[in-house]
């Protein structure tokens, strides 16, 4: 009867116009970095045209009017622009009927592949359920919801999702998934400071010093600047008490976060990989080591114009491949080296995967013989992404196995169990480790041990949303309904937009005979996720005086998975 919170990451939608978010006052790179234009006019002008400078901003800068009807749900979605506001309306005639609207506040994605939108309600931040798809030049629902029968429930956005598309990103309020008492970020797009660090002293002293000199950094620190946003990997784990929000230019990425891939995946492009991983496989990079980086070919301040693209990249190749052969006779009828060695995939419309093949293969046939998408079972062990810093800790390895375990790799949980027990010996108060161990213990059927881990985790960090939810699940499933209600009520007070949490709490309240409290909880859930059928049905049942407290939601008692940051 208890539902998992694991749908945090998939959930989606609704905004009432009356609710005023923090939104509007955000600045884009144009404004934020205007001070630099005084003295660095050329760089400023070219930079503001790049996709990085336009990676996000006010919704009005990117939205175009449009509409579509989703056949499976019968809902018509419409984007319209009124008095400078971007409105998303939704409407379904018939039973169950539905209608409403949100004001979209921000966009993210410069639009090369697509654009997503953000709205907020009561200071909770959400991703809109639809995106604009460049390939189709039209709107459609987010991937994963294309066949949905109901409007997706609200999709919470945490700071980890904003961190690569926005600048000056703030952490969500403690104990919440996506509630921000202040602005969630300061600037749309990626500002100069995102790479150059704090420039206050530099501007104050009219350009005399006061800056981190990026070209003098060591290879790991230099590469970290691009990698923190361009490395996807299979899974990543922040060091204890750290997150990507702590990263500053000049730091080593591996001091904050560790990145993992499957051993058998090395050299394959089965999973959609990022440019970083692909380049690492190239003979160019492997033979050049630290001499080669993203900036060997890319000027972070500008994108070559289409007419210069071919000669621009050719010059980059020839700078290393300086043998006269390449400049003169090697396929000289095709001046663009990248056509053969770095072709574009025709099918890739997945955000966060490379379009251009950064493996720089000799011939594409060699690429086709690369290992298959699904590595053999014996290769499903994790290794750190090579070449980006120190070896991850036992804790990071353990949590990485746990995270891939949650994605459905059963063997991974065995590794996670052993590694995390070891990690716990070093730090008995590590709530993330305790939370993971509590989950795995339950999977192993040991409820007592699971309770020990979770209760300890809750004690040391009551703000940990996942631990608190799991403690509630544990109490409820062992019949301690009153105690479970206390824990969930407190959690729900801070996270009123979490559908599964709200449904769980309402069921519990129903079972305890608190019908009006249960109704209130469900009504609150429906303000965020108005078309969530399980919630609607439960509410209707309670209001009709039905004594049975049951829900049609089928995901019995699963324990929640932490939010995955990356969308596919
Ligand atoms: C704060 C995060 C962040 C950092 C740091 C960052 N990037 Fe980006 N970069 C992005 C995002 C996000 C996009 C995609 C923007 C979009 O299309 O919406 C992007 C796009 C790009 C593109 C595609 C440009 C085009 O013409 O379409 C290149 C090339 C690139 N980045 C290179 C780099 C390099 C080189 C560095 C390091 C010097 C770097 N990036 C650092 C986030 C970042
Ligand atoms: C680790 C950094 C990172 C995080 C976190 C991240 N993105 Fe991205 N995103 C990127 C980069 C880099 C690109 C450009 C990649 C490329 O073109 O190869 C991108 C591209 C996109 C695009 C396509 C943009 C275009 O111009 O076509 C969309 C849409 C997008 N991201 C949405 C999201 C959403 C939604 C989230 C959170 C759930 C998210 N991103 C989290 C780094 C990130
Ligand atoms: C995506 C990361 C990134 C962003 C954003 C960025 N830079 Fe840079 N910038 C670099 C890197 C990396 C270097 C060092 C280049 C190298 O490797 O030599 C650099 C070098 C410079 C230099 C010195 C070398 C030169 O080319 O004159 C100036 C000046 C500069 N940047 C100004 C700016 C300004 C102004 C902005 C914003 C309008 C900006 N940068 C935005 C990454 C970035
Ligand atoms: C009043 C003029 C002025 C302003 C405003 C200014 N700069 Fe500079 N900047 C300079 C000068 C002059 C240099 C060259 C300093 C040197 O060579 O020692 C410089 C150098 C740099 C460098 C290269 C540092 C290095 O040694 O690699 C970067 C990066 C840079 N500026 C970024 C910025 C950014 C970002 C801003 C806006 C936040 C900005 N600057 C605003 C005058 C200015
Ligand atoms: C930083 C230097 C550097 C740059 C830039 C560079 N390469 Fe390379 N590349 C190398 C080195 C070193 C090798 C190893 C073999 C050799 O020396 O030719 C290599 C190997 C290759 C190979 C053979 C691959 C194989 O699997 O045998 C190809 C093809 C290639 N490069 C194409 C290119 C193209 C095309 C570009 C431009 C888009 C490029 N390279 C840019 C350094 C570079
Ligand atoms: C050997 C040259 C070379 C190196 C090194 C290189 N790139 Fe690229 N990159 C390219 C070319 C060529 C394109 C295609 C550009 C175009 O079509 O306009 C590209 C495109 C991109 C794009 C746009 C999306 C796509 O896949 O087409 C991103 C993002 C990007 N590179 C990021 C990176 C990052 C991050 C690094 C460092 C890990 C890197 N690149 C290193 C040559 C390079
Ligand atoms: C029309 C397709 C095509 C173009 C354009 C092309 N190459 Fe190649 N390249 C190949 C093929 C095919 C091979 C495999 C060996 C051969 O046929 O020469 C190759 C091999 C190579 C190698 C490996 C050489 C070796 O001895 O193994 C390098 C390095 C290379 N190319 C660099 C470049 C550079 C740099 C450019 C641009 C100046 C370029 N290629 C343009 C098709 C191309």
Residue 300 has a CB neighbour count (10 Å cut-off) of 17
Ligand 1: nearest atom to the Cα of 164: 2
Round to whole Å and give the CA distance between 403 and 435.
12
Q: Which residue has the tokens 């005084």?
A: 38
Q: Which residues contact 485 (CB under 8 A, 6 or more apart)?
A: 505, 508, 509, 512
Ligand 5: nearest atom to the Cα of 316: 5
Find the 283 Cα to ligand 5 centroid distance in Å: 6
Find the 245 Cα to ligand 4 centroid distance in Å: 25
Find the 253 Cα to ligand 4 centroid distance in Å: 25
pLDDT at 22: 41
Round to whole Å and give the CA distance between 550 and 116.
36
Q: Which helix (H) or strand (E) holds 339?
A: helix 337-341
Find the 339 Cα to ligand 3 centroid distance in Å: 28
Which structure tokens are listed for 81? Answer: 């622009």
Strand partners of residue 258: 237
Report yes or no: 524 and 496 within 8 Å, Cβ to Cβ.
Answer: yes
Find the 229 Cα to ligand 1 centroid distance in Å: 7
135: Cα within 13 Å, side-chain hemisphere = 8
Round to whole Å and give the CA distance between 64 and 70.
19
Round to whole Å and give the CA distance between 117 and 15.
12
Q: Which residue's CA lies nearest to atom 35 of ligand 4?
A: 192
Q: Which helix (H) or strand (E) holds 58?
A: strand 56-58
pLDDT at 552: 62
Of 311, 341, 342, best ligand 7 pocket probe by most atoms within 8 Å of the beta carbon: 341
Round to whole Å and give the CA distance between 228 and 249.
10
Find the 138 Cα to ligand 4 centroid distance in Å: 42
pLDDT at 176: 96
Q: Which residue's CA lies nearest to atom 7 of ligand 5?
A: 284
Domains annotated for the chain, with CATH where assigned, are 1-212+462-568 (1.25.40.10), 219-378 (no CATH)
Q: Which residues contact 510 (CB under 8 A, 6 or more apart)?
A: 518, 538, 542, 549
What is the DSSP code (8-state) at residue 517?
A: H
Question: Would the CB of 566 count as within 6 Å of ligand 5?
Answer: no
Find the 285 Cα to ligand 5 centroid distance in Å: 8
Of 51, 166, 186, 193, best ligand 1 pocket probe by most atoms within 8 Å of the beta carbon: 51
Question: Would the CB of 297 count as within 6 Å of ligand 6?
Answer: yes
Question: Would the CB of 321 count as within 6 Å of ligand 7?
Answer: yes
Q: How far is CA 5 from CA 2, 271, 492, 498, in A?
A: 10, 26, 12, 8
Question: Would the CB of 317 count as within 6 Å of ligand 7?
Answer: yes
469: Cα within 13 Å, side-chain hemisphere = 30
Of 228, 358, 387, best ligand 6 pocket probe by most atoms within 8 Å of the beta carbon: 358
Using one digit for the tens of pLDDT, what is the confidence trace for 72-128? 999 999 999 999 999 999 999 988 889 999 999 999 999 888 999 999 999 999 999
Q: Which residue's CA lies nearest to atom 11 of ligand 5?
A: 284
Q: Which residues contact 56 (CB under 8 A, 6 or more apart)?
A: 106, 107, 108, 109, 165, 166, 188, 189
User: SS3 helix, strand, coil % of the chain, rounded to 5?
Assistant: 40, 15, 45
Find the 215 Cα to ligand 3 centroid distance in Å: 9
Q: Which residues contact 247 (CB under 8 A, 6 or more apart)?
A: 224, 228, 253, 256, 257
Which structure tokens are listed for 154? Answer: 């609200």
Find the 300 Cα to ligand 3 centroid distance in Å: 7
What ranges in 22-126 are assigned the alpha helix state H?
29-32, 34-37, 41-47
Q: Residues in the chain with pLDDT < 50?
A: 1-24, 371-375, 378, 554-568
Round to whole Å and give the CA distance between 11 and 560.
13
Round to whole Å and give the CA distance between 114 and 209.
39
Question: Would the CB of 40 count as within 6 Å of ligand 4?
Answer: yes
Q: Provide the strand spans (E) within 112-171.
A: 114-121, 124-133, 138-141, 155-156, 166-167
Q: Which residue has the tokens 């209130």?
A: 520
Report yes or no: 22 and 120 within 8 Å, Cβ to Cβ.
Answer: yes
Residue 137 has a CB neighbour count (10 Å cut-off) of 9
In angstroms, the first-to-last Cα distance of the chain is 30
Of 133, 351, 357, 385, best ligand 2 pocket probe by most atoms within 8 Å of the beta carbon: 351
Residue 219 has a CB neighbour count (10 Å cut-off) of 14
Q: How far is CA 400 from CA 233, 236, 381, 413, 565, in A?
A: 11, 7, 10, 10, 14
Of 192, 202, 207, 229, best ligand 3 pocket probe by most atoms within 8 Å of the beta carbon: 192
Of 219, 284, 337, best ligand 5 pocket probe by most atoms within 8 Å of the beta carbon: 284
Q: How far is CA 61 from CA 27, 230, 320, 487, in A?
A: 12, 24, 41, 43
Report yes or no: 493 and 519 within 8 Å, Cβ to Cβ.
Answer: no
Among 254, 270, 20, smallest CA distance to 122 is for 20
3-state secondary structure of 108: strand
pLDDT at 95: 81
Rg (CA), the chain: 25
Round to whole Å and give the CA distance between 431 and 473.
17
Using one digit for the tens of pLDDT, what is the confidence trace for 143-198? 889 889 999 999 999 999 999 999 999 999 999 999 999 999 999 999 999 999 99
Question: Would the CB of 37 count as within 6 Å of ligand 4?
Answer: no
**DSSP characters for 266-334?**
TT--SS---HHHHHHHSHHHHHHGGG--HHHH--TT----TTTHHHHHHHHHHHH--SHHHHHTTTTT-
Find the 52 Cα to ligand 1 centroid distance in Å: 5
Give the predicted TM-score (pTM) of the model: 0.92
What is the DSSP code (8-state) at residue 356?
A: B
Find the 79 Cα to ligand 6 centroid distance in Å: 33
Question: Would the CB of 187 count as within 6 Å of ligand 4?
Answer: no
Find the 232 Cα to ligand 2 centroid distance in Å: 10
Find the 157 Cα to ligand 2 centroid distance in Å: 13
Among 130, 111, 109, 134, smallest CA distance to 119 is for 130
3-state secondary structure of 84: coil
Ligand 3: nearest atom to the Cα of 53: 5
Question: Would the CB of 332 count as within 6 Å of ligand 7?
Answer: no
Which structure tokens are listed for 448? Answer: 């007592």
Q: Which helix (H) or strand (E) holds 411?
A: helix 410-426
């Amino acid at each position: 009867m208890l539902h998992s919170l694991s749908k945090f990451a998939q959930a989606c939608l609704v905004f009432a116009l009356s609710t005023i978010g923090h939104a509007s006052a955000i600045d884009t790179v144009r404004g934020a970095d205007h001070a630099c234009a005084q003295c660095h006019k050329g760089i400023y002008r070219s930079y503001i045209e790049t996709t990085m400078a336009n990676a996000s901003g006010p919704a009005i800068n990117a939205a175009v009017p449009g509409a579509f009807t989703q056949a499976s749900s019968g809902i018509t979605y419409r984007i319209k622009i009124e008095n400078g506001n971007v409105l998303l309306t939704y409407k379904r005639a018939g039973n169950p009927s539905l209608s409403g609207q949100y004001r979209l506040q921000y966009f993210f994605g410069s639009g090369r592949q697509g654009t997503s939108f953000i709205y907020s309600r009561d200071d909770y931040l959400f991703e809109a359920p639809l995106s604009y798809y460049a390939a189709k030049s039209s709107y459609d629902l987010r991937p994963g919801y294309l066949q949905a029968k109901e409007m997706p429930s609200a999709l919470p956005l945490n700071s980890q999702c904003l961190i690569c598309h926005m600048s000056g990103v703030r952490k969500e309020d403690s104990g919440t998934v996506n509630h921000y008492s202040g602005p969630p970020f300061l600037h749309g797009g990626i500002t100069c400071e995102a790479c150059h660090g704090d420039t206050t002293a530099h501007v104050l002293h009219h350009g005399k010093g006061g800056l981190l000199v990026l070209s003098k950094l060591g290879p790991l620190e230099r590469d970290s600047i691009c990698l923190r946003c361009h490395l996807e990997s299979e899974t990543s784990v922040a060091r204890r008490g750290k997150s990507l929000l702590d990263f500053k230019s000049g730091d080593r990425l591996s001091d904050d976060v560790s990145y993992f891939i499957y051993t058998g995946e090395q050299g394959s492009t089965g999973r959609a990989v990022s440019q970083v991983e692909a380049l690492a496989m190239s003979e160019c990079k492997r033979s050049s080591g630290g001499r080669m980086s993203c900036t060997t070919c890319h000027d972070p301040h500008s994108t070559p114009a289409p007419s210069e693209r071919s000669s621009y990249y050719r010059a980059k190749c020839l700078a290393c491949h300086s043998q006269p052969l390449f400049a003169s006779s090697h396929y000289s009828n095709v001046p663009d080296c990248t056509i053969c060695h770095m072709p574009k995939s025709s099918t890739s419309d997945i955000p966060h995967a490379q379009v251009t093949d950064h493996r720089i293969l000799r011939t594409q046939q060699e690429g086709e013989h690369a290992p298959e998408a699904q590595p053999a079972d014996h290769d499903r062990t994790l290794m750190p992404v090579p070449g980006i810093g120190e070896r991850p800790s036992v804790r990071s390895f353990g949590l990485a196995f746990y995270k891939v375990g949650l994605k459905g790799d059963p063997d991974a949980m065995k590794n996670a169990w052993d590694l995390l027990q070891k990690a716990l010996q070093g730090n008995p108060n590590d709530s993330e480790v305790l939370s993971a161990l509590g989950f795995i213990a339950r999977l192993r059927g040991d409820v007592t041990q699971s309770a020990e881990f979770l209760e300890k985790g809750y004690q040391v960090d009551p703000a940990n949303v996942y631990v608190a939810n799991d403690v509630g699940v544990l109490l409820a499933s062992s019949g301690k309904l009153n105690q479970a209600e206390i824990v969930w009520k407190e959690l729900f007070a801070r996270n009123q937009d979490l559908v599964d949490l709200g449904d769980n709490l309402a069921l519990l309240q129903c079972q305890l005979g608190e019908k009006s409290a249960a109704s209130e909880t469900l009504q609150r859930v429906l303000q965020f996720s108005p078309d969530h059928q399980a919630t609607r049905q439960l509410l209707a049942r309670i209001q009709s005086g039905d004594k049975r407290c049951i829900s049609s939601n089928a995901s019995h008692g699963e324990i929640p998975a932490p939010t995955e940051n990356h969308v596919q």
